């Protein structure tokens, strides 16, 4: 039964971003100023419009992007004089955006780790596997186990590649309705079925007696509000909370159903795939971003976590010769003050949340050692910081997985094998370093 | 018993650090990043020292207990030295970053004219300039010439806090999670004060790392190498004192004495004085009376 659900749910949920027409409508009614791709002169008005995020270079599930010209927190020497003050400001603002991504990533990881540590269901190994990892890992033979995990990884990655290519093809041929339907179906699955499962397991763990009518009401409300928030309109914080919750749920499913070694190899392989798909000229994700930019459309805004949206307006187009001096100056001042908020914040795909949480969750699963979990957590945050720094330097859509996952994997294996015995010995003797 | 011990030890070990975080670090995103990067650097130093220790352990006879203990002590001192090396490395990184920051904020005049040329229009440059500076002020909190010095000092303190928090977390978290479960401390003849002593030592170390961050900055900035040598040797001393455990009388009071000393030294070296303390108290009193 579970296999069927998972298959029906499919990987599409991860891959496809939900585009919602209603969000575009809300763009129109709330922000006549915000444009998608090319910066244009805003129809001039003095007050700052609150607008939903634009996705200038918004990517997708995995790449991180922002439309901002922000240098990162550390790289400063190359700042050129004309942009001196702007870069000064954007340094401070750049740090703010990094924190605005740290907080949801941290929250997602906290939810996953808390669940793993308390609800034993997600750490019990069953014989059930995802259909995407058909090879069973035999704990007796190391070679066989390694081989099977590599085969599982290849199956999984090829499924992802195929799905992504299907998505790009669908997008290119403008089959939006199909994509919409698929996404709505998959988020329905997550919000209703998986949260029902999760709630059931939490009740079992804490031995809470719950009757079905109450449960139905809770799940119904949770699910419907979630669908509305994610696919239509809703308060920003609520939408962010729902995105964090569904990322956590998805990560928990992966932690439960991926076999041990396969999970680690898959994490590594997915980062490499992310790198290729976003940066190579013929990579599917890059083609998707470019197609969307050509058509001047937002790329699937809803299943991307976006940090803040309350600021601003398009950038002044300095090449327009007809703008009056006052208009131009105001735009220019706006540009000075708020450069870096063109699209209202940095965006991170939900797949990134999911895989970060999978890594930290798996670190929490093994052995009950909190040091490993903490080390992976810090490593992922630093990786994210570096990715955002690169983003500020290169100013285009970047994959968010490779650096963080690499750091996370390195720190996981080294902390588990090297630091743990050292710290255990120190704690046993109460030596402090 | 278990929950009480858990919360008690958690608050002892992490209370001041948490308060420092909430009141000084949390409101500035840049400081949060510096904190986490500090934690990362400490983690790197720990990783490398564990690697060295692990290799030594594997290369030696695992049955020989005195040798193992000796190697552990060697690991402790090597780790301390490596932590100081990474503290220095992080200081250099922060200094480079702050210097770059200070360099841009100096070029006000020329920037405007170049930008004018770039846009080809005579804008209302003074209004523009003041708006830019206003934005800058709002977010830097100060516009005096000592911006870079002050911010580097604060950054080093925050970096020290990052080191301290990570060090404390690695010492304490496993023990905290064990203290939640059932058990009797010291049932096999060990000390029954294990948890509380650990919490107290963790607190001392966290504060020490913060103070050492400030002192290290001062030593490097003013090229007073004896300050740096003092910091390193005191760290070695504290680690050495902890080797006296479980003779807690020999380790805990001296460590706290050193902590107090470091606190006072850091306070005076970062520009505090008895006068400013006095002013703080009287202003508080005056505000209390007037409100």
ipTM confidence score:
0.84
Question: For residue A353, what are the contacts with CB-CB under 8 A and spacing of at least 6?
Answer: A104, A105, A108, A243, A244, A247, A251, A305
Contact A301, A36 (CB under 8 A): no
For residues A170 and B3, what is the distance between their CA atoms, to the nearest angstrom? 56
Which helix (H) or strand (E) segment holds residue A123: the answer is: none
**Range list of β-strands (E), A307-371:** 347-349
DSSP reduced 3-state for B253:
helix
Supply B123's token pair: 């804008």
Interchain CB contact of B103 with A (< 8 Å): yes
pLDDT of residue A368: 67
DSSP reduced 3-state for A316:
coil
Mean pLDDT calculated for residue range A82-93:
59
Comparing C-alpha atoms, which of A134, A418, A428 is closest to residue B43? A418
Q: Residue A49 catalytic?
A: no
Say yes or no to pLDDT of B14 above 80: yes
For residues A355 and A251, what is the distance between their CA atoms, to the nearest angstrom? 7
Question: For residue A218, what are the contacts with CB-CB under 8 A and spacing of at least 6?
Answer: A199
Q: Half-sphere exposure of residue B187, counting CA atoms within 13 Å on the CB side?
A: 4
In which band, very low, low, confident or very high, does the pLDDT at A131 lie, cut at 50, 70 and 90? confident
B153 conformational bin, left if phi > 0, alpha if psi -120 to 50, beta if neither: alpha
The domain of B23 spans 2-290
pLDDT of residue B88: 94
The residue among A209 and A179 whose pLDDT is bigger is: A209
Long-range contacts of B106-109 (CB under 8 A, 24+ apart): B107/A81, B107/A84, B108/A84, B108/A85, B108/B133
Interchain CB contact of B242 with A (< 8 Å): yes
Say yes or no to pLDDT of A311 above 50: no
Say yes or no to pLDDT of A360 above 60: yes
- Record: contact A325-B139, CB cut-off 8 A: no
Q: Residue A25 catalytic?
A: no
Residue A34 Cα, gap to closest chain B Cα (Å): 23
pLDDT in tens, A33-80: 332 333 333 333 333 333 323 333 333 343 344 333 333 333 333 334
| CB neighbour burial string for A256-268, b if at least 16 within 10 angstroms, e if fewer | bbbbebbbbbbbe
Locus of tokens 């997600």: A122
Which helix (H) or strand (E) segment holds residue A285: the answer is: helix A284-294
Domain boundaries, chain A: 1-429
Supply A400's token pair: 């968010």
For residues A365 and B133, what is the distance between their CA atoms, to the nearest angstrom? 50
Locus of tokens 């058909």: A134
| CB neighbour burial string for A117-147, b if at least 16 within 10 angstroms, e if fewer | bebebbbeeeeebbebbebebeeeeeeebee
pTM over 0.90: no
Supply A225's token pair: 């509000």
Which helix (H) or strand (E) segment holds residue A376: the answer is: helix A370-394
Interchain CB contact of A128 with B (< 8 Å): no
Mean pLDDT calculated for residue range B205-229:
92
Interchain CB contact of B116 with A (< 8 Å): no
Long-range contacts of A295-298 (CB under 8 A, 24+ apart): A296/A36, A296/A37, A296/A38, A297/A36, A298/A19, A298/A23, A298/A24, A298/A27, A298/A36, A298/A54, A298/A55, A298/A58
pLDDT of residue B23: 93
In which band, very low, low, confident or very high, does the pLDDT at A285 lie, cut at 50, 70 and 90? confident
In which band, very low, low, confident or very high, does the pLDDT at B277 lie, cut at 50, 70 and 90? confident
Interchain CB contact of B75 with A (< 8 Å): yes
The residue among A293 and A161 whose pLDDT is bigger is: A161
Q: Most distant CA pair in chain B: distance in Å?
A: 83
Cα angle A219-A100-B11, degrees, rounded to a multiple of 5:
80
Cα angle B3-B9-B12, degrees, rounded to a multiple of 5:
135
C-alpha separations of A87 from A67, A71, A261, B130, B278 in Å = 15, 7, 45, 16, 40
Considering A362-366, A392-396, B146-150, the range whose residues carry the highest mean pLDDT is: A362-366
- Record: contact B53-A84, CB cut-off 8 A: no
For residues A342 and A68, what is the distance between their CA atoms, to the nearest angstrom? 6
- Record: contact B167-A422, CB cut-off 8 A: no
CB atoms within 10 A of CB A367: 10
Number of folded domains that form chain B: 1
Residue A413 Cα, gap to closest chain B Cα (Å): 11
Considering A301-315, B63-77, B125-139, the range whose residues carry the highest mean pLDDT is: B63-77
The residue among B22 and A172 whose pLDDT is bigger is: B22
Of A89, A332, A381, Cβ closest to residue B135: A89
Which helix (H) or strand (E) segment holds residue A64: the answer is: strand A63-64
Supply A88's token pair: 């000064």
Cα angle A175-A179-A180, degrees, rounded to a multiple of 5:
115
Say yes or no to pLDDT of A29 above 60: no
Say yes or no to pLDDT of B137 above 50: no
pLDDT of residue B141: 38
Which range (A283-287, A375-379, B101-105, B190-194) has the least confidence?
B101-105
Supply B88's token pair: 């220095």
Residue A80 Cα, gap to closest chain B Cα (Å): 8
Mean pLDDT calculated for residue range A16-43:
34
Could you say which of A352, A369, A416, A424 is catalytic?
Answer: A352
3-state SS string over B154-208? HHHHHHHHHHHHHHHHHHHHHHHHHHHCCCCCCCCCCCCCHHHHHHHHHHHHHHH
For residues A415 and A280, what is the distance between their CA atoms, to the nearest angstrom? 33
Say yes or no to pLDDT of A113 above 90: yes
Report the share of chain B in percent with pLDDT over 90: 53
Mean pLDDT of chain B: 83
């Amino acid at each position: 039964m579970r296999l069927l659900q998972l298959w029906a749910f499919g990987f599409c949920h991860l891959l496809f971003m939900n585009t919602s027409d209603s969000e575009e409508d809300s763009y129109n009614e709330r922000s006549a100023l915000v444009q998608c791709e090319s910066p244009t002169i805003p129809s001039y008005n003095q007050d700052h419009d609150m607008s939903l995020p634009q996705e200038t270079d918004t990517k997708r599930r995995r790449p991180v992007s922002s439309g901002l010209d922000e240098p990162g927190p550390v790289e400063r020497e190359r700042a050129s004089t004309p942009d001196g003050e702007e870069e000064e400001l954007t340094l401070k603002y750049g740090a703010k955006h990094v924190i605005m991504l740290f907080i949801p990533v941290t929250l997602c990881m906290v939810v996953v780790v808390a669940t793993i540590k308390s609800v034993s269901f997600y750490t019990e190994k069953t014989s059930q596997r995802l259909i995407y990892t058909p090879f069973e890992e035999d704990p007796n033979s190391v070679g066989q186990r390694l081989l099977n995990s590599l085969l599982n990884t290849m199956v999984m990655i090829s499924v992802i590649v195929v799905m992504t290519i299907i998505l790009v093809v669908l997008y290119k041929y403008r089959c939006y309705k199909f994509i919409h339907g698929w996404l709505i179906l998959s988020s329905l699955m997550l919000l209703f079925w998986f949260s029902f499962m999760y709630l059931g397991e939490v009740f079992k763990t804490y031995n809470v007696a719950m009757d079905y009518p109450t449960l139905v009401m809770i799940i119904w409300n949770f699910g419907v509000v979630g669908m509305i928030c994610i696919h239509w309109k809703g308060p920003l914080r609520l939408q962010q909370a729902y995105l964090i919750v569904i990322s956590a749920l998805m990560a928990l499913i992966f932690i439960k159903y991926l076999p041990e070694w396969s999970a680690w190899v898959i994490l590594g392989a997915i980062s490499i795939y992310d790198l290729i798909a976003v940066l190579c000229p013929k990579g599917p994700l890059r083609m998707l971003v470019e197609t969307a930019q050509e058509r001047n459309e937002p790329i699937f805004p809803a299943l991307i976590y976006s940090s803040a949206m309350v600021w601003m307006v398009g950038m002044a187009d300095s090449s327009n010769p007809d703008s009056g001096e006052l208009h131009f100056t105001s735009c220019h001042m706006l540009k000075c003050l708020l450069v870096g908020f063109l699209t209202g914040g940095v965006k991170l795909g939900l797949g990134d949340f999911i895989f970060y949480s999978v890594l930290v969750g798996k670190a929490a699963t093994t052995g009950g050692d909190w040091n490993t979990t903490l080390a992976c957590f810090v490593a992922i945050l630093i990786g994210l910081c570096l990715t955002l720094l690169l983003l500020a330097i290169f100013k285009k859509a970047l994959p968010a997985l490779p650096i963080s996952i690499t750091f996370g994997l390195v720190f996981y294996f080294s902390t588990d094998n090297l630091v743990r015995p050292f710290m255990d010995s120190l704690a046993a003797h109460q030596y402090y370093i | 018993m278990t929950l009480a011990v858990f919360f008690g030890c958690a608050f002892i070990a992490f209370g001041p650090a948490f308060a420092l975080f909430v009141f000084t670090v949390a409101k500035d995103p840049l400081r949060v990043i510096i904190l986490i990067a500090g934690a990362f650097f400490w983690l790197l130093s720990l990783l490398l020292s564990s690697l060295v220790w692990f290799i030594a352990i594997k290369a030696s006879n695992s049955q020989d207990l005195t040798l193992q203990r000796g190697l552990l002590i060697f690991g402790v001192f090597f780790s301390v030295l490596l932590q100081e090396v990474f503290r220095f490395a992080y200081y250099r990184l922060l200094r480079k970053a702050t210097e770059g920051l200070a360099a841009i904020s100096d070029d006000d005049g020329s920037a405007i004219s170049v930008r004018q040329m770039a846009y080809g229009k005579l804008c209302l440059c003074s209004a523009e300039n003041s708006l830019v500076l206003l934005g800058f002020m709002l977010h830097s909190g100060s516009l005096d010439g000592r911006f870079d010095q002050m911010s580097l000092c604060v950054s080093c303190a925050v970096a020290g806090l990052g080191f301290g928090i990570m060090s404390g977390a690695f010492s304490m978290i496993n023990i905290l999670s064990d203290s939640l479960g059932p058990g009797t401390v010291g049932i096999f003849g060990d000390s029954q004060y294990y948890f509380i002593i650990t919490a107290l030592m963790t607190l001392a170390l966290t504060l020490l790392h913060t103070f050492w961050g400030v002192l290290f900055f001062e030593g490097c900035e003013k090229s007073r190498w004896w300050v740096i040598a003092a910091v390193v040797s005191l760290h070695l001393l504290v680690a050495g004192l902890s080797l006296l455990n479980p003779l807690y009388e020999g380790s805990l009071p001296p460590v706290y004495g050193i902590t107090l000393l470091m606190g006072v030294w850091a306070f005076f070296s970062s520009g505090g004085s008895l006068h400013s303390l006095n002013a703080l108290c009287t202003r508080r009193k005056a505000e209390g009376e007037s409100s």
